[in-house]
Each structure stands twice: as structure tokens, then as C-alpha cells.
Structure 1
């Protein structure tokens, strides 16, 4: 799928370039296409340098949390909930701890770090699979929750916004929190409906009801504030939570007498290994997106959607962020490239860039996750995983649009 998508970007750009040259009389289009290749290659290297630091930093802190037993403690805390949502997984099974660590990495926005952990979790779940070619209910729920983007602290998106010159990189913290809650809840409810999970169980109700009450109360508080106050609160909470998580990891690690510095270095080394393989993918996708924009093809598609939205009497500002939403289910690197390109084209704090960042943080690369996670263990029958995951993605996109109109207009 990714191979077809990447090739299609270049072929569409070539056709659009020829059209602009022969029909519209614009021979300069080819100079713009070539210039975009070099510009995006240069941008890829600059982003990579920042990504090296960010990913190694957070992988280091995650290793401290793991060594201090925070992850295992979270697994024990979530154990009663997992036993009801995944009755096929016995208590104390290694998959529970791995899934918890995967969710923690996703919550911190470290999707590249979460993938290898998620693969280990999927392998652990596969040991319980009576039919190795068909996904179990537990594997489907795990995959759908992954594809619903459990992003509570989108560090990577903060990093991209900072790199593009946003004066307040954490401005999208609350919009992403609300939108990702909608996508995750939709994914969970859709799987629960298909698998007939007992959501009326007291333990499940306590978790879901408590979460819903907290989120509802929080949204009621936000509704009572002005747009400026909401933006200021999002910035404050984003930075406060970010630094608070770091201090909590370090404090618990020191209390448990963990060599925090050595643990950090060990985790950071793993982060470096994960990160160093990303540059070719980043260059490939940013260059493909660059020529697509330079050829005018992307603008033509967006203008068509904008025309249709205007005909229905809708506010059309959301259209400029749609490329990220349309590509995200197929490729995280392509969506990341489109997010960066939108920030460069419209400005990091434009409505389009803020919405694209929110969509990036509240949706996931559904087909990529499906192919990698199920392909790694040889599963051929995904059953209801695809439909539930795509439904969660749709909920994330719609929630992102609604939340951004609420916050930024």
C-alpha cells in the first residue's frame, strides 16, 4: 500500500506538471518541482536532527519508568480492566505488561518507540491464539486501541511545531486530548459491540464512567472560558504535564534506588537505534509531498473539496488540513510530511496547521498498523479489526474539526 501511495504521488505530480506546461502555459513548473525535491531533502535532515534528540530523550525517561516498576504497577492497576475486556488473556500474562508499556509510549506521542513494544505484545498474545492465522478478540482490541491513537501527551507534534517556529508548541495539547478521547472511545465501543463485551460490569463501568465524568467535567470547565483563556490553559497544562511526568519518573526512580542516569542512557541508546532508521522514510515522503504541492495537483484537489463545502454552506477553513486526515490511515510518514508541509505553507499557528496537528495526534496509521502488527505474527484473517479501526479514525477526524473550531475561532 505504501509503495503504491508513494509512486502515485510522483506520477500525479508529473501529470499535473505536464498539464500546467502544455495547457496552462507555465514552463516554470518543472523548476519548482526540482527545487521542491532539494528543499524537502534539506528539511528532512533538519527534522531528523531534532527527532534524534526528542526520541532518545523520551526513550531514556521511559526506561527509568520501566526500571522503577511504574509500568508494572500500571499493569497491575489495569489488570482487572484488561481481564474483563480481554477475557482470553490470563492474569499475570507478559502481554499485559507489554501492552501497558505500548499504551504508555503512545500516550507520550512516541509512536516510533511504541511500535517495537507493540510487536512484542502482539507476539505474546499470539502464544494464546488457538488459530494462528486468525486474529483473536484480544489481538483485535489491542490493535484497534492502538489505531485509535492513545495520545495524551503528543511530544512529537510539539517538536514539529517548535521546529517550524511556533511560539507556543503546546497550544494543541487540549484539542488533541479531546479528539483522541473521542477516537479511542469510539474504537473501544465498536469492538465491545462486535465482541459482546460486558461493558456493564462494575469494574468496566467504574473505569469508563470515571473517565467520562472527568472528561465531561473538564469540557464543562472549558466551555465556561473564553477562547483566549482556553488557549492559555492548553499551553499551561501541556507544559506542566510534560515536565511533571519527567519529574515523577525521576523521583520514583530515585526513591526506588534505581541508577537513573545509567537507566536513562540505556533507554536513550535504544531510542537512537529506533530513530536512525527513519531518515530514508522521512526523505522519501517529504519529497513526494513536496512535488505534489509544487505541481499544483494537491491544490486542485483541495479547491474541489472547498468548492463542494462552500456549496453546502460550510466554513471551508478545515479543507486545508484534509490532506493529513486523508493520508494518515495509510502512512504515518506521509501524514507527518503533510503536517510539516501545511505548517510551512500556511504558518504553524494557522487554523489549517493547528487542525492538521490535532488530526495527526488523534488518528493513527490504521493500514500500516494492521499490516505490521498482524503481519509480524502471520495473521491473515483480521476479522472486524479494519472496520472498527477505521470508525475510530473517522471519529478522531470529525472530533478534531469540531474541537479546533471551538478552540481557535
Structure 2
């Protein structure tokens, strides 16, 4: 019901704003923009897709996802038959059994969630999505109310959407291409901001679900992960841009190939039909990718209407006016559009980041802040639509509020870090 109300509000607000701009401010072309989009021009350097183009985009996303889903869910099927997922579940069980008390010890869902978090950590978005969807399917098997989100599903999605990432390689590459003097300077703020957002998500949901986060198992894992991240930061700060990108590529892609190697090796060792297991899993990946098309189309068209109607511009201008009236430093406002669009559209936020860097400079305060914001949050509403849609969840309960609150913590942390690191 919450998602339904938000979706309805997006569309109604966008059309009301567009109508006011059309009939009271003479912007008669705005209705055309909302349906067929707005092309690049000197006054509006960003191309904005209308509703029709957005529908095609949503379907194209799902079509591209089919192959990736088939690949990773095929390997996941091999791992399940070989017992690898159960082994991973037993290893992480002391921690997850406290954080996910409704998930039985050794359940495959634990292994799927670990694979998703690991892929996110390494910046492997293409791998994270299939693992995450498989985790949702496993958690749905334990869900007594099939159309209502379970506690475990909410905890998982909130942790996933907080987007803990070690190295935002794509952001660094974009900054380098836009002539930043030091494109890697934002990776530490990004890492810290995502870590804070992840901890915030865990605390918010734990409070709602009455989970004691001060249990020794939870504290040990959180402190252990914190120590690993701190150690990695101390090493990465010694690398230059080329070395950092090389290290990231070797770490992420090397570990992915290692996972494939170990899964196939385990399947051969267990003497299972490896290729048959892969095919069975790949079929499920195809079905899942097709099933999410209606949910993705619905969410993306609502976001498109908000963007093309100029609703975001109104919000930004209002924030600038408030800051000016209060005498508050308003430099951060120029980077905020990325934060506003990021929960709605990853591609839109990336375009907004590029526009901010192009307008203000890669090494300006706004350029750095938009880069940190892009690298330290996730596409919340996309995640909600795709992940809940994949298992036909209608009632998301408090998931949206918890995810947005964690996003807000991440944004505030990113702004604070930007002032701390770059003044």
C-alpha cells in the first residue's frame, strides 16, 4: 500500500506541476516533454526521456538483465546442488542468525544474501542483482504471508540498498575523463558514507524489529568488518589513480572468476551434472527477468514524469532560497540534485552528476559532492520495484521509510565529509 501511494503521488504531483507551468507560466511544450522527452540543446544540456522512451528503456534493462540473470543464477544452481551455499550459510550463520532471527540456521537464503553483499562490496552490480533476487526468492519461501514483506526481506533490502562499496571505480573513471586533478580523492568519503548508511540501515530496522544489536556476535562482525575496511583504506591511500583502478579490477574481477572456479570445482568434486544444474538455474533467471518488467515500467514512468515536469528544479530552488534566507552556506545545494534523483534513477543521477561536474568543475565543491553522493547511495525505488516485484510482494510495510531514512543518513554523512575533506 505504501508503494502504491508513493507511486500515485509521483504521478499526480508531476502532472499538477506541469499543468501550473503550462497554463500560468506559458511553458506549453512541457506536456510534449513529459510524453516524448526533451532533447539536448544549449539551454538544457541533459537529454530527458519522456514516458514512451522510458517504457522502452525499462524493457531494454530487463532484456539486458536476462543474460546476466541466466549466467549468475546458473552458477548459483550449481553451488546449491554441490552444497556450497549451505557451507557459506554455516560460516556466516553466527552473525546472520542474530540479524535474521526468522531465517533458520544453514538456510540457503543466508548464502544468497552473502553473495549479494559481497558483489555489492566489490562494485559488481551485474552480479549483485541476480544474487539479490535469488535471496528474495529464498526468503519468500519462509514468508508466511506471500504478499506482505517479511522482517527478513525488509532487513535484507535495507542493507542492500545502503550500497556499501569499497571502491567507486565508475565514479573515479568519470571524474578522470572530466579532467579532475585528483579523481581518486572521493573514494574514502564514498566508502565512509556507504558504511555509515549501512550501519544506519541495520540500526533502524533492528530497532523496528526489536533486535538487540549489542549481542556479541553482531558486535564482533561489525567491528571486524570495520577493521578490514580501515586496513584497506590505509593501503589504498598509498596508490595513485592508475594503481587504484588496476587493483580494483584485479580484486573484483579476479574474485568473481575465483567464485566461478570454486563453484564448478565443487560441482565436479560432488559428482553432479554441472551443465544440467547450470541450465536449470539459467531458466529461472530468464523467468525472473521477464517477471519484473511490469514493476520496472511502472516505477520508471513515474520517475520520468517527475523529472520532465520540473518538480526537481522547484525543490532545488526552494532549498537554495531557504539556505540564503537563513544565512547558511548553500554550496552543497548544487550537488543535491544527484542525491534527489539517485533513489529514483541510477542513470539519471549519473547524468546529473556529469552535468554538475561539467557546470561547476570536477574539483569544485559541488562536483566533488555530487561524485560522493553518486558513489554512496543506491537506487532505492528501483530496488523496491524490482526486488519486491520479483516475488509479488504487494505490502512493503515500513521498508520504504527505513530505506529512505538510511539514504538520508548517507546523504548527510556525504555532505559532512565533503566539508571535512574539501572545505
TM (norm. structure 1) is 0.70
How many residue pairs get aligned? The number is: 378
Q: Which residue of 2 aligns with 1:114?
A: 132
Q: How does 1:390-405 map to 2 (within 5 A)?
A: 391-401=405-415
Are 1:242 and 2:252 an aligned pair?
yes
Q: Which residue of 2 aligns with 1:332?
A: none
Alpha-carbon spacing, 1:244–1:66, altered in 2? closer, same or farther (3 Å)? farther
Q: Which residue of 2 aligns with 1:21?
A: 22
Q: What are the Cα deviations for residues 283-317 of structure 1, in whole angstroms up to 9, with x where unaligned?
A: 33333333322222221112222343454104223
Q: What are the Cα deviations for residues 121-161 of structure 1, in whole angstroms up to 9, with x where unaligned?
A: 3553759xxxx9x99xxx6466334312264579xx99999
**Quick check: 2:296–2:386 contact (8 Å CA) kept in 1?**
no
Q: Which residue of 2 aligns with 1:148?
A: 159
Shift of 1:15: 2.4
Alpha-carbon spacing, 1:205–1:286, altered in 2? closer, same or farther (3 Å)? closer
Alpha-carbon spacing, 1:158–1:72, altered in 2? closer, same or farther (3 Å)? farther
Root-mean-square deviation over aligned CA pairs: 4.8
Q: Give the alignment partner of residue 263 of structure 2, picking from 237, 253, 258.
A: 253
- Secondary structure at 1:239 match in 2: helix
Q: Distance in 1 between matches of 2:140 and 2:265?
A: 32
Q: How does 1:282-321 map to 2 (within 5 A)?
A: 282-309=296-323, 311-315=327-331, 316-321=333-338
Q: Which residue of 1 aligns with 2:68?
A: 54
Alpha-carbon spacing, 1:44–1:371, altered in 2? closer, same or farther (3 Å)? closer
Q: What are the Cα deviations for residues 258-280 of structure 1, in whole angstroms up to 9, with x where unaligned?
A: 55444333322211111112333
Alpha-carbon spacing, 1:43–1:275, altered in 2? closer, same or farther (3 Å)? same
Q: Distance in 2 between matches of 1:188 and 1:141?
A: 12
Q: Distance in 2 between matches of 1:159 and 1:66?
A: 32
Q: Distance in 2 between matches of 1:182 and 1:285?
A: 27
Q: Which residue of 2 aligns with 1:105?
A: 116
Q: Give the alignment partner of residue 273 of structure 1, picking from 287, 296, 300.
A: 287
Q: Give the alignment partner of residue 197 of structure 1, picking from 199, 206, 212.
A: 212
Q: Distance in 1 between matches of 2:262 and 2:247?
A: 22
**Quick check: 1:71–1:100 contact (8 Å CA) kept in 2?**
yes
Q: What are the Cα deviations for residues 347-399 of structure 1, in whole angstroms up to 9, with x where unaligned?
A: 3894476455434438688987998899969998x7xx888666544333334
Q: How does 1:144-223 map to 2 (within 5 A)?
A: 144-149=155-160, 151=163, 178-189=192-203, 195=210, 197=212, 199=214, 201=216, 203-222=217-236
Q: Distance in 2 between matches of 1:405 and 1:366?
A: 30
Unaligned runs of 5+ in 2: 38-49, 120-124, 179-183, 358-366
Q: Which residue of 2 aligns with 1:341?
A: 348
Shift of 1:212: 1.7
**Quick check: 1:187–1:388 contact (8 Å CA) kept in 2?**
yes
Q: Distance in 2 between matches of 1:369 and 1:48?
A: 10
TM (norm. structure 2) is 0.68
**Quick check: 2:338–2:373 contact (8 Å CA) kept in 1?**
yes
Question: More displaced, 294-303 or 3-12?
Answer: 3-12
Q: What are the Cα deviations for residues 320-349 of structure 1, in whole angstroms up to 9, with x where unaligned?
A: 113235xx4xxxxxx23xx32233455389
**Quick check: 1:107–1:151 contact (8 Å CA) kept in 2?**
no
- Secondary structure at 1:23 match in 2: helix
**Quick check: 2:81–2:277 contact (8 Å CA) kept in 1?**
yes
Q: Distance in 1 between matches of 2:36 and 2:275?
A: 44
Q: Distance in 2 between matches of 1:10 and 1:294?
A: 11
Unaligned runs of 5+ in 1: 329-334
**Quick check: 1:302–1:319 contact (8 Å CA) kept in 2?**
yes
Q: Distance in 1 between matches of 2:251 and 2:238?
A: 20
Q: Which residue of 1 aligns with 2:142?
A: 124
- Secondary structure at 2:27 match in 1: coil
Q: Distance in 2 between matches of 1:377 and 1:345?
A: 31
Alpha-carbon spacing, 1:28–1:177, altered in 2? closer, same or farther (3 Å)? same
